[in-house]
Structures are given as C-alpha cells and as structure tokens.
C-alpha cells in the first residue's frame, strides 16, 4: 500500500459506513468536499453507538499504482455514459473516458485508481464519477440497493419520489420538503434490509435544482440562471428539517402532463416494479442484481404505489399527497 504517498484525506459519514478518500492531490479531496452538504453530513455523525463499516477509495494522480491500467483482455460487463465496467477475477475495473481507471475489490471494500490530468481539472467528474461510482459498486456488493429517486419523510415514514430526468422529481422533492416534510434526498437513495424491516438512507449531498425548478419558489429569485442543475446547500433553502434515514411508506412516480391540475392515481404493483427496475438495477454483478431484485420486490409488494400526473403548477400538490397518504 502506498498510503505514505497519499498525504490528503477526507472522511464522509454515511449511516453505518465511513467513506474514506485518500489522494496525493488536494484537488481530488476538495472536489469531493465541495460536493458534500456538510450540514447534512453532520446528522450522520450523531449516532456513534456502533462501529462503522469502512469503504476506502485511494486515487493517485502523479503515477499509476501497480495493476491499475486500461483493460485489454478482460470481459466487458457494462457501459454507463463514458464509464466502462470490466470483470477481473472477482474485481471490477472502471475506465473513465479511457484515461482514468479504478480497480475495485468488493470483498475488502477498497477501490484504488489513477486520475488523469484531464479529469483532475473537473471537480464534477472527480466527485460524481471517479469517487462516487466505485463507492456505489462497493456498497451494492454489501447488499445495498441504489435507487434513482428523491425522498421526503414524515417522522420515520419515507415517500420515495421516482421519475426520469425532466419529470419534476427534484422540484417535487423540494416543494414537499419546504412545506411539511423532512428532506432526505432529491436524487438518489440507498435501500437495505434492517432488523426493523427495510431502511432508506442517502448520500449527504446538496440539493440540485435547475433554473426552471427554481422559478417556482421565490427564495431563489436572486439566483443566477444556469444551463444545468445548480447544487445548492440546504442552508440557502427553505428546508428546515433533515432526515438521515427512515422506513418506506409509499412510492410515487412523477410524470409531467400538459394540464393545469395535478392528479395522483394508484399504480399496480407490477407496473411499479417495472418502473423501479429501470431506476436501480446494478449491471455488474449477479449477486448485486439478485439482491437488488429482492429488495425491489419487497418494496413494491408492501407499499402503495401511485403515479403523480403533474400539471403546470405545484399549487395544491403537497396537500394532495398529504390527503392521499396520511389522511
């Protein structure tokens, strides 16, 4: 191990896990620290009653560590955007645009890789791709399911808000969190088996809203327009309560429709399962796929599912959800 060369380190608490990032470049550490919402992360540090499970990521920039290189004769498992996944004797190797590489040992919970000069200058790629994707693969290997969804909570009862990009998931999450619900995530959650049933938690990141989403809420009137989503610390929003974890209570799938009034309609469990699979399944491990499917079947089998057909305004939507789910 070349830990003596990795002078910089940061630790991110995540429920029962500790995400430990080491690097020989401060830019790598700063990119991940800049992505984290430290007010949310604080809540993950409160319960220290049990030891945390370490997940370690080591990223080199000055030289490639031994065994970390572009795969040439390995089985190609999957591709996600510009990331390619390869299998190597129980390990997973990720390539990012053919210049940066990470090798993952799922059993040990360790990922080691090389970051190219091109990617070193992109905080978003460093944090959201080269750091976060290996963490996802490791945590999936521990039986945790990742779902692309927002989440708000009433007490410990969580509402999962699912939907494709551009269908109002983040906007709805914020609308609910600024009214009467606690905020857990606007974009992604983790689902795992727990002694009390199923538990939901999330990575402590900033909320992400684009210019159109922000236009619904007066507190963002002074914000500059942005071509994509802006990452906003929760302290700059109207969100008052933060949830670290909870139990699933309902599934809502969002869909924007060309109408003024919004409508919340029941969704068959089979349809909910099909939609949820597209937001969550891991492509890299048979064990992870089976674990994901088991958890998704438990979710859709035990929860009421709905489709929220969202009109041109969010007026009345929080009340509609409240009346349907908690009346």
Q: What 8-state DSSP symbol labels residue 319?
A: H
Residue 73 and residue 216 in one domain: no
What is the number of domains present in the chain?
2
Residue 159 and residue 211 in one domain: yes
Residue 233 and residue 191 in one domain: yes
Which CATH number fits the domain that encloses residue 182?
Answer: 3.40.50
Residue 126 and residue 153 in one domain: no
Residue 77 and residue 206 in one domain: no
Residue 175 and residue 156 in one domain: yes
Residue 127 and residue 270 in one domain: no
Quick: pLDDT tens for 89-138. Answer: 888 999 998 899 999 998 899 999 999 999 999 999 999 999 999 999 99
Give the whole-angstrom CA distance, residue 164 versus residue 50: 36
Q: Which residues of the chain have pLDDT under 70?
A: 1-4, 44-50, 281-286
Residue 257 and residue 283 in one domain: yes
pLDDT at 45: 63
Q: What is the model's pTM?
A: 0.89
Last residue of a domain, one of 108, 142, 176: 142
Residue 212 and residue 276 in one domain: yes
Residue 161 and residue 136 in one domain: no
pLDDT at 285: 66
Residue 137 and residue 214 in one domain: no
Strand (E) or helix (H) holding 138: helix 132-141
Residue 317 and residue 229 in one domain: yes
Which tokens go with 304? 């009421």
Contact predicate 56/12, CB 8 Å: no
Last residue of a domain, one of 107, 142, 177: 142
pLDDT at 1: 47
Range of the domain at 55: 3-142
Quick: pLDDT tens for 29-74. Answer: 999 999 998 878 777 665 555 678 999 999 999 888 777 777 777 7
pLDDT at 16: 84
Last residue of a domain, one of 114, 142, 170: 142
Give the whole-angstrom CA distance, residue 265 versus residue 183: 24
Q: In this prediction, what percent of the chain has a pLDDT beyond 90?
A: 52
Distances (CA, A) of 113 to 110, 136, 150, 203, 234: 10, 15, 30, 22, 32
pLDDT at 175: 92
């Amino acid at each position: 191990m070349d830990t003596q060369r990795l002078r910089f380190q940061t630790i991110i608490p995540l429920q029962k896990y500790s995400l430990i990032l080491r690097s020989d470049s401060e830019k790598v550490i700063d990119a991940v620290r800049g992505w984290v919402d430290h007010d949310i992360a604080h809540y993950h540090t409160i319960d220290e009653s049990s030891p945390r499970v370490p997940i370690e990521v080591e990223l080199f920039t000055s030289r490639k560590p031994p065994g970390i290189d572009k795969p040439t004769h390995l089985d190609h498992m999957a591709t996600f955007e510009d990331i390619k996944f390869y299998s190597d004797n129980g390990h997973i190797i990720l390539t990012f645009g053919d210049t940066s590489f990470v090798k993952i040992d799922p059993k040990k919970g360790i990922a080691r890789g090389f970051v190219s000069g091109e990617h070193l200058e992109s905080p978003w790629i460093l944090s959201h791709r080269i750091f976060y994707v290996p963490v996802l693969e490791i945590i999936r290997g521990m039986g945790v399911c990742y779902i692309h969804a927002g989440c708000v909570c009433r007490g410990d009862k969580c509402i999962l808000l699912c939907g494709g990009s551009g269908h109002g998931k983040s906007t709805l999450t914020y609308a609910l969190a600024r009214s009467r619900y606690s905020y857990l995530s606007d974009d992604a959650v983790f689902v795992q088996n727990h002694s009390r049933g199923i538990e939901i938690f999330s990575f402590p990141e900033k909320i992400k809203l684009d210019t159109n989403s922000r236009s619904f809420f007066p507190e963002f009137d002074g914000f500059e327009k942005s071509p994509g989503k802006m990452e906003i610390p929760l302290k700059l929003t109207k969100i008052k309560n933060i949830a670290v974890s909870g139990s699933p209570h309902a599934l809502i799938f969002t869909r924007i429709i060309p109408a003024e009034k919004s409508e919340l309609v029941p969704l068959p469990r089979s349809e909910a399962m099909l939609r949820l699979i597209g937001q969550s399944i891991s492509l890299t491990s048979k064990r992870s796929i089976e674990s994901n499917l088991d958890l998704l079947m438990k979710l859709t089998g035990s929860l009421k599912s709905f489709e929220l057909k969202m009109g041109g305004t969010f007026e009345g939507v929080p009340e509609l959800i409240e009346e349907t789910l908690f009346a």
